[in-house]
Amino acid sequence: MSYLQRNAHKRIDPQQVLAGVRSVICLAASYHGNSSKDSSESQSDAAQGVVARYARFADYHDVLGERLKALASFIDARGEPGSRSLSYVDTGPLLERDLAQRAGIGFIGKHTNLISRGLGNWFFLGEVLSTIEIEPDAPERNRCGTCTRCIEACPTQAIRAPFQLDARRCISYLTIELKGSIPEDLRSAIGNRIYGCDDCLDACPWNRFAAAGRLMAPHLRKDLNGPDLIELLALSDTGFKQRFQGTPLARAKRRGLLRNVCVALGNIGDSRALPALDLAARDAEPLIAEHARWAIDQINKRTGGARSDGRVAV
C-alpha cells in the first residue's frame, strides 16, 4: 500500500496540482442497469468467475476521459483570458470522494465509498480543476443512519468499523492492486470473484433509488459477465492482451488475473478443472503456478482426489 504515499502533498492541496485553482467541478457517471446479475446466481454448469460490475465495460478512464477533456476546453474557451482547466478520471492526486461530497454528489458511507441518493453506489467520478471561480454547491450530509449492511456483507471483514477500511483485506485490493501472493487465510473468502468485489456496494439500501445510466451502456462487454474460468486459465500472454485490451482487467495483467482464476477454481471448481490447473501449476510465471497448486489441493480435499477421467490426483 506504499503507493498511497506518492503525491500525498498534492492530495491535500489542489494548488499543488494546478496552480491558481479556484474551483473543482465534480461529475458522476452511472453504470447501473447495464450488466447482468453476478454469475454466482447463474444456473450454468461451467465454473464461472465474477467481475466487479464497473469492470464489465470498456475502460472508463478512456470513455469518460475524452468527455472531461472536452468539458475542460469548453470552460477555458468561455472563461477569463489565461484561464486554465485540468481534468482527471480516477487518475489524479485528488481526494475525489471528499471533493464529491463537498460538491453535493453524495456522501461517504460506512464502507468508505461514495453513495448518491439518485445513483446509489453504481457510478464513476471525474473532476475538472479550473482557475475560474464558480459558485459552489451545498455539500451532502451523511445519510447512513444506523444501517450496517455493508459492514456485515464484507466477505473478509475488511470494514473493521464504520468508516474504517483495512484495504489489505479488501477483495478489490487483493485481486487488483496486490501484485504478489494472496494470503492463504483470505483465499477461501474470495469465492469466485476474479476482479474486484461489489458485496458492500450491493448491500446498500440506497441502491433502490439508483437510476440506470446511459453513458456507459454502449460500452458494455457482455463477455465479462460470468466468464468461464477454465477457458481463462488457458490464456497466453498474447491471448490475454487480445481479450482484455481496453478493459479494466488489463490492469491485473495475465499473472494477476490467472492467479485470481486459480483461487476461484480452488474455491468452486471440481475435478473437471484439474487438467487445466495441472498445466497452470507448471506455468513459467511462479505466481500462477503457486496458486494453481493451492487450487489443486483444495479440489482434492473436496473430491477425495477423484478425477473426472477416473484417475486419482496426486
Tell me which residues are annotated as active site.
90
187, three cell numbers? 483465499
Q: Spell out the residues 6+ positions from residue 231 whose beta carbon is closer than 8 angstroms to its own.
A: none
Q: How many CB atoms lie within 10 A of CB 192?
A: 22
User: Is 155 within 8 Å of 171 (Cβ atoms)?
Assistant: yes
193, three cell numbers? 470473484
